[in-house]
Amino acid sequence: MATLTSVHDTLDVARVRRDFPVYDQHRDPPLVFLDSAASSHKPRAVLDAMADYYETTHANVHRGVYAMAEEATARFEAARTRVARFIGATSTAEVVFSKNATESLNLVAQSWGRANLGPGDVVVLTEMEHHANLVPWLALAEQLGLQLRYLRVTDEGLLDLEGLDAALDGARLVSLTAMSNVLGTLPPVRAVADAAHAAGAVVVVDASQYVPHLGTDVDALGADFLAFTGHKMLGPTGIGVLWGREELLDAMPPFLGGGEMIRDVRLDGFTCNDLPWKFEAGTPPIAEAIGLGAAVGELERYGMAAVRAHEVALTSYALDTLRRRYGDDLVVHGPTDPCARGGVLSFGFRGIHPHDISQVLDQAGVCVRAGHHCAKPLMRRLGVPATARASFYVYNDESDVDALADALDACSDLFCF
């Protein structure tokens, strides 16, 4: 298998880009895609795996006994095995396929939460959570009478652990991000998990931004549940993952009812299927799971240590470049140490509205996100209505950062600075 890393354990970006059809397209100006925190592009291996399934092996899984159906099932379950290995799961029974990380987190809230929480029980969250890890708990709190507590964010964009012990007093569950999609912050998940477990709480980790960028070991993180999504890690949309400790999943009621998740159905009741199919009601996202398996294969080929090293170096270059060129006129939210963050730069520039920044940059071929990034409470904590956000991945290099910096000059020119 060909390697895409150098002796310095960094990515050969020019070779990586050749894996992505989007970079084969002629564009004027050239594409500078800096929005992978929202959704990454897909390499040929992913597109080919999904196309081959549809062209040669399409059949429903776990049902037919004819050869094509058995081949479809084998490919689907092989993807689960590959995902389990990628995150350090001890068993494929712990890997549940979902629609996305949002559905995975809702599954935990509605299944584990309804079975184990009641009026007055404490759930601990943080101010830097994506709405997907806020709204399910806000809704459940309203329905069941839960008490929600929040760990604060410091002015430097770090998770404030000063009030951790007080927040954990009587807590039943802690749910937190492993990487902020706004700040890039990498909270000390293991330290929080250890404290939570000592207090008797279950730990849920939203790893949507973490799994695509860092080597992941669910046990090392100290998680009891961990959610992530395929489309941010080179995979297709419509496929997510919930990992959970087998004993917890086994004790939980099903989230959805229908076909596949049952072993038997009678007019007076039903018996659930084994894990993980107990939580996979109906026809699953077969092609999408196969595509996710191929995406994991590509990330393994790149090497997650190389992916992380590349992003730390590129983030460092971006921070230095933008500070040198724009000084205090450009404010990047989050930690200043590139080793303490992911490759996500949310910024404000000379008072220009982020939507205007995004539109002007688009004219130069530079694609950045603008808005609240599904993190409105964090925006309020930062004191801004929205930010522009540039995010890096395996196909970005220093020339993309330079293009971003150059395009910001056009914003200054247009808005008369």
- What is the Cα–Cα distance from 233 to 251, expressed in whole angstroms? 30
Structure-block tokens of residue 267: 């007019």
DSSP run (H or E) holding 85: helix 67-87
DSSP run (H or E) holding 241: strand 240-244
The DSSP bridge pattern shows strands 32-33 and 366-367 to be parallel
3-state SS assignment for residue 209: coil
- Residue written as token pair 């309020």: 380
Structure-block tokens of residue 410: 């056009």
- What is the Cα–Cα distance from 267 to 148, expressed in whole angstroms? 40
3-state SS assignment for residue 296: helix
Structure-block tokens of residue 363: 């004219």
* Catalytic hit among 272, 339, 367, 374: 374
Structure-block tokens of residue 354: 């982020």
Active site residue 416: no
CA proximity to 239, closest of 251, 229, 252: 229
- What is the Cα–Cα distance from 334 to 159, expressed in whole angstroms? 10
Structure-block tokens of residue 332: 């990047």
Which residues on neighbouring strands pair with residue 244, listed in sequence order? 225
- What is the Cα–Cα distance from 274 to 285, expressed in whole angstroms? 19
Structure-block tokens of residue 271: 């018996």
- Alpha-helical (H) ranges within 18-66 are 44-52
CA distances from 341 to 56, 183, 285 (A): 43, 8, 32
CB proximity list for 155: less than 8 A, separation 6 or greater: none
Which amino acids are annotated catalytic?
A: 374
